[in-house]
Structure 1
Amino acid sequence: MNVQETDREHLAAFLLAMRSQGGVEARLMEAVEAVPRRLFLPDIKGNVYTAESFPLPCGETIGSAELAWRCVMAMRIQPDSRILEIGTGSGYTTALLARMGARVTTLDRYKTLSKLAAQRMTTLGIENVTVLTEDGSLGWAEGGPYDRVIVHGVFEKLPKAFSDQMASHATLLCAIGPERGAQRLIRHEKAGSRFEEEVVGTVWWVPLKAGLAARL
């Protein structure tokens, strides 16, 4: 059995596991099926849908496929959602977001990762994504306000800069907690000048680094 056939089997099993969780909307299932994870992990051998993280260039990592779809599901994306993503990484979650929303602006401080992610969007024919090599530690006000924001990083508390870039009734997903150890993955729902918070999981993310990478 070749890699393509094996990947199809692993994807089928993964989709079955997703369906067994209940409450996963059909649009998200279709997005996961339409975005081949192998494209984002070309050098990884074996099952790319396992519940583990994988290394990326520039010393970064990509979380599990399950974490990706759970993050997307938690954001409750609508077809007209304007989305900001901080921490493009491989671009896998970016592609899922693009399949779900109207427009995605995604930032990464590493030009290597941004370039590879942009190439993958082109390969998949995804045109509703803008990939930027920028410092996203304080968001990206130029494209705001946003309906949905996801930050692949942890804060001690949510920076005001992000809340200022969110539209009314917008949703932001990020980790809150210590730099090391387990953190709460929290969905922040903006309601006027205040936030309603809901813990949707546990993650082990790292703080965002400010500035652009000097070399990579």
Structure 2
Amino acid sequence: MSTGEGDGEQAERAAFILRLRQRGIRDLAVLRAIELVPRPLFVDPMMRRHAYDDVALPIACGQTMSQPSLVAAMTEALGVTADQTVLEVGTGSGYQAAVLSHLAARVVTVDRYRSLVSEAQTRFEVLGLRNVTAYVGDGMNGMPARAPFDRILVTAAATDIPAALMDQLKLGGVIVAPLGAPEEVQTLVRIVKEQSGRSRTDLMKVRFVPLVPGAAATL
């Protein structure tokens, strides 16, 4: 697995960042983090020509890799700073975690599919990302051994935020997640944990695969 790139790849990536800006992404730190991550490394080789297209792409285990503009918007909404620890629920290809690694002090990511976690770990090693740790587990339970977290990003849809994730979020922390029925259009929300409860901001309509309890018995 190689990250080698030529002038064509660099030009393609520069045009990709410009398109994200045109789509409303303004946070320069987020744009820089995305620019630093070679998206083709996370894409099935058969789909390489679509790596920088603003489309969702299929990955193994029946999962999907979100379109870049959505990755950027979710990252921007999370508001990560360099001293924070982030939990990602739903590792998938590892692309979102790799982007977060350039913004946060530490990134913990969990997925129910062992093969996805293994492939993501390999990509993190190729890129030399030493502040990302990936685990196989039930994302609905979070990662209590590594809690508490300043930020939590959920990349699968549920009807409400699992209680375990709220418990593992620091006071003043932020969760960004899609809420709604899996078979319907969902709402991406930003939730802030406050002393008196939580405040919610609706961001946009989205479609995500469902958040499923438990680790997969196979795959």
TM range (shorter): over 0.9
Q: Distance in 2 between matches of 1:89 and 1:203?
A: 17
2:29 match: 27
For the pair 1:62 / 2:65, whether they are aligned, the reply is yes
Q: Among 81, 87, 97, which residue is 2:100 paired with?
A: 97
Q: Among 166, 169, 173, which residue is 2:172 paired with?
A: 169
Q: Distance in 2 between matches of 1:8 and 1:96?
A: 17
8 Å contact kept, 1:10–1:47: no
User: Could you give the per-residue CA deviations for residues 154-202 of structure 1, whole angstroms, max 9, x where no partner exists?
Assistant: 1212222211111010000111112212110000011114111111111
2:137 match: 134
Q: Among 205, 208, 216, which residue is 1:205 paired with?
A: 208
Q: Distance in 1 between matches of 2:56 and 2:100?
A: 19
For the pair 1:155 / 2:158, whether they are aligned, the reply is yes
TM-score (norm 2): 0.92
Count residues with an aligned counterpart. Answer: 214
Structure 1 stretch displaced more, 150-159 or 180-189: 150-159
Structure 1 stretch displaced more, 101-110 or 175-184: 175-184
TM-score (norm 1): 0.93
Q: Distance in 1 between matches of 2:68 and 2:9?
A: 13
Residues 46, 135 of structure 1: CA spacing in aligned structure 2 closer, same or farther, 3 A cutoff?
Answer: same
Q: Distance in 2 between matches of 1:85 and 1:23?
A: 21
1:37 match: 39
Give the Å deviation of 1:213: 1.3
Give the Å deviation of 1:142: 1.4
Give the Å deviation of 1:8: 2.7
Q: Distance in 2 between matches of 1:61 and 1:21?
A: 21
Percentage identity across paired residues of the two chains: 33
Gaps of 5+ in 2: none
Q: Distance in 2 between matches of 1:46 and 1:72?
A: 24
Amino acid at match of 1:39: L
Give the Å deviation of 1:59: 1.5
Structure 1 stretch displaced more, 185-194 or 46-55: 46-55
8 Å contact kept, 1:173–1:186: yes
Structure 1 stretch displaced more, 167-176 or 49-58: 49-58
CA RMSD of aligned residues (A): 1.6
Residues 4, 46 of structure 1: CA spacing in aligned structure 2 closer, same or farther, 3 A cutoff?
Answer: farther
Amino acid at match of 1:132: Y
Give the Å deviation of 1:18: 2.3
Gaps of 5+ in 1: none
| SS at structure 1 position matched to 2:141 | coil
Amino acid at match of 1:138: N
| SS at structure 1 position matched to 2:171 | strand
Q: Distance in 1 between matches of 2:189 and 2:36?
A: 27
User: Could you give the per-residue CA deviations for residues 99-118 of structure 1, whole angstroms, max 9, x where no partner exists?
Assistant: 10000110011111101101
> Deviating runs (4+, > 3 A) in structure 1?
3-7, 20-23
Amino acid at match of 2:11: E
